[in-house]
A and B are shown apart, each in its own frame.
Chain A
Amino acid sequence: MNNKLINLISKVMNISPEEINDESGPLNVENWTSFNSYVLLYELEKEFNQKFTMDEAMDVKSVADIKRHLKNHGIQFD
């Protein structure tokens, strides 16, 4: 599941999966623009078949936040 998430972020932000860790986010990834964060949210909803609320979407500041919200939606990470 972790790989699936990392690959998705890598595709949207156009960076290699190795560059992504739990701390990655808009502040330290150059391509993590506001537009790309909308695209990421949209792709996450499609990929994990979930709908995020506005509050959840606004709360995302890092990969760790994404994982936390996905867990709340019942998605398990190893």
Chain B
Amino acid sequence: MLNEQSLQYYLNQAQKLEKKSNSKQIKIGVISSYTITGLAETLQVKCAENNINCKYYVGGYNQYSQEIISQDSALYKFTPDIVFLLLDTRSLFGNIFYDPYSLNFEERKLFVKEKFEEIENLINIFSKNSNSKLIISNLTIPSYSSFGINETKQEYGFHEMISSLNLKLNLSFREKNNIHIFDFNSFISKYGQKNIFNFKNFLFGDIQIIFDYIPYLAHELLPYINAFLGMTKKCIVLDLDNTLWGGIIGEDGFEKIQLGPEPPGNAYYEFQKFLRVLKQQGIILAINSKNNLEDALKVIQEHPYMILKEEDFSCLKINWSDKVKNLKEISKELNIGLDSIVFFDDDKINCEYVNVSLPQVKVVNLSGDPSFFSEILQNMNDFDSLKITNEDLKRTQMYSEQIKRDELKDSSISLNDFLKNLDINVTIKKSDTFLIPRISQLTLKTNQFNLTTKRYQEEDIQRLTNDPNFLVGCAQIEDKFGDSGITGVFIVNKKNSNEWYLDSFLLSCRIMGREIEKSFIVYIINEAKKNNIEKIIAEYIPTQKNKPSKNFLSECGFLKHNDKWIYDVSHSLKLPEFLSVRVENE
């Protein structure tokens, strides 16, 4: 089980926090129907551990409706990025919580409908008054029922009323990008009502979550913040011996390693199944193991109970090199930052070595009992994003294709020949409803080739797409190895009839180094020409990570003027001959 620090620890740490200048920023609001003091402080400390500066506003006790309804409430004045709204069944249901069967079947249905409409109404008002994301907890189903063992025999009984309300919340807000339902009921199930709630605390101060469980709740809410800031981990790098199977292949041999449906090998078998699910959701898997390549590959390719297959790994570093060196190479080959990587190893020294040498990498020490591996993985809150896109689901395949492209790069004579051999097709698309989630995701996640690093939530992209003063587009890239999906984004602010401003311009790291960015800058220049624009103004806003885009503007013929870059539209920019570009719907 996850072992959290006490709430007291977090409250003390919160007092000692110092603001770091290079951190990401987040503003959170917490409003609730019960006493939830300590949650915001805990989130603040957990954010600081991830190098995020978190400011918070906590609404008054049970003032959530007023905070939402009043347009000039302190909550709105605080202009939060994310608001957590925590509701409890007891206060929402009032007397019906104690006596649900004072209503007949029809009345119970009507009651739930009315309660749902109350919440829906509040959410709609919130959406009108604020651009913030709203995370609402669903309702806990108490284990108690006055009907005891007969509760499950009641048609639309007390427990079913609550489940039905929870289901309505899920269904109604599934398509809304700014509203997320937090499964608080599952949180209570996970840690247990008996541990989290007791009557003394409840009667004493309407404390419905015992203090030391507040940090566990914060742990479950943190992924919303990380995902909002685009800080989700992208890749799991795994050791092999005593991590994906029990024993040491080089010593125990193929037949003796522990892996399969029976104990003790089932601990590894189960762990691999959970890893495979993460892979299917778009987390990249890679191997970093000290072994003879042939020994290890034989297991991966031929062991009957190996759940993860060779093609599930986007990168294999099975050698006798230093693990830190291997991790650096994995980061380079997959073109992802070290801070996007989680490293799993059973060897404490390796873990420590990576921790010290590459502090950006999150290290998970698997030196303990392998029967806990699956639980350790399930308790990690690093992989969630606010939306899973098609590109996420295809990611491993796309990275494997990338490795093949790199192999071709090694055997080609010149870079130009290599690129010609790739048969790169670029399709430029204007933003539409289907593309908005991916465009937003790219603005949130892309760090390296990104001129301005402006982050846009889906609602922002939606707004810019509908605004005639903006041109929002993206590029889909295909080559002979496959479809890389939507991997480039541009946003142009059509400032006036003379000049356009390049608000955002970015390219996923996966496809860097192929001059694909030229295809959409040429497109923008051509569009500007058509509209009789004289100048395109651009900016390079340096960050710690966007060096790869530093020279792009000068290479394209933009001239530096103070801190801006200006392109004279009467000039022409040539498209690289190895790119075939098509503009959709033209």
Q: Which residues of A are at the interface with B, using a C-beta cutoff of 8 A?
A: 11-12, 14, 34-35, 38-39, 41-43, 46, 54, 57-58
Contacts and interface: CB of A to CB of B under 8 A. Distances in A.
Given A39-B7, A42-B211, A34 B205 contact: yes
A35 B37 contact: yes
Contacts of A42: 201, 210-212
Contact of B211 (A14, A34, A39): A39
Contacts of B570: none
Given A14-B15, A34-B205, A39 B8 contact: yes
A29 to B, nearest CB: 15
A66 B204 CA distance: 17
Interface in B1-29: 6-8, 11-12, 15
B12 A14 contact: yes
A42 B210 CA distance: 9
A57 to B, nearest CB: 6
Contacts of A41: 204
Contacts of A57: 200, 204
A41 B6 CA distance: 14
Contact of A11 (B8, B35, B38): B8
Given A12-B8, A35-B37, A54 B205 contact: no
B207 A38 contact: yes
A54 B8 contact: no
A41 B205 CA distance: 12
- Most interface-central of A14, A38, A43, A54 (chain B CB within 10 A): A38
Q: What is the size category of the interface that chain B forms with chain A?
A: 10 to 19
A35 B37 CA distance: 7
Nearest to B199: A54
Contacts of B204: 38, 41, 54, 57-58
- Most interface-central of A14, A35, A46 (chain B CB within 10 A): A35
A57 B8 CA distance: 19
21 contacts: A11-B8, A11-B12, A14-B11, A14-B12, A14-B15, A35-B205, A38-B205, A38-B207, A39-B7, A39-B8, A39-B211, A41-B204, A42-B201, A42-B210, A42-B211, A42-B212, A46-B6, A54-B203, A54-B204, A57-B204, A58-B204
A6 to B, nearest CB: 15
A8 B211 CA distance: 16
Nearest to A52: B200
A35 to B, nearest CB: 4
Contacts of B38: 35, 39
A35 B203 contact: no
Given A38-B204, A39-B38, A46-B6, 8 more contacts: A12-B8, A35-B205, A38-B205, A38-B207, A39-B8, A41-B204, A42-B211, A57-B200
Nearest to B8: A43
Contacts of B211: 38-39, 42
A39 B205 CA distance: 11
A34 B201 CA distance: 12
A56 B37 CA distance: 23
Nearest to B35: A35
Interface string B451-463: 0000000000000
Which 6 pairs show the lowest CB-CB distances between chains A and B? A35-B37, A38-B205, A42-B211, A14-B15, A43-B8, A54-B200
Interface string B177-213: 0000000000000000000000011011101001110
A11 B6 CA distance: 13
A74 B205 CA distance: 27
Nearest to A35: B37
A35 B35 CA distance: 9
A21 to B, nearest CB: 22
